[in-house]
Chains A and B, each alone.
Chain A
Amino acid sequence: KAGVTQTPRYLIKTRGQQVTLSCSPISGHRSVSWYQQTPGQGLQFLFEYFSETQRNKGNFPGRFSGRQFSNSRSEMNVSTLELGDSALYLCASSLRDREISYNEQFFGPGTRLTVL
């Protein structure tokens, strides 16, 4: 079974631009979560999508948004990029077959975003 895939793997943008990152979950997984990892703040939860609906949201500004498609693939968008948005963006997928279930969560390789 293929793992979680993320595209692109590397991205360089300039301040003020916007960016879209993509995540394809493991086949059969309906929950996709996004995380930001920086040296200073560590791994922080951005949001989770389940069956095309945002279920949970972390403490990030509205410039960070996402969506999920009917095939469970998810995209994350960051508008008006700032230097501080430079980070490794990771997505994770899980079965989440029940509302509250502690399923295993599998992470993708990440997208390294550099904002100049």
Chain B
Amino acid sequence: GNSVTQMEGPVTLSEEAFLTINCTYTATGYPSLFWYVQYPGEGLQLLLKATKADDKGSNKGFEATYRKETTSFHLEKGSVQVSDSAVYFCALRDKGAQKLVFGQGTRLTINP
């Protein structure tokens, strides 16, 4: 079945550092890929998405590129801020389906 694997956290960085959170997936078809973010005390929010190979999703300075050849969707940001501290979830959804399959989440802490 479909699955998503994220790098294990927690990840702790200093402000303005470069961020990469790895995400790889296993799927039988060509799924859509997502990154969700969960800030403390809040629900998951869609951060960005990509629906086909080589698409790049971007939002709030974060980027991720759909790499079919490596089945990856790594999340990157060039300069993180304290306000980026949250839990980040990578997810996939099969074409035509409603069900989301999530990775285990990566807790990110940014220190000033």
- Tell me whether A and B are bound partners: no
Q: What residues of chain B have their CB less than 8 Å away from a CB belonging to chain A? A: none
Q: What residues of chain A have their CB less than 8 Å away from a CB belonging to chain B? A: none
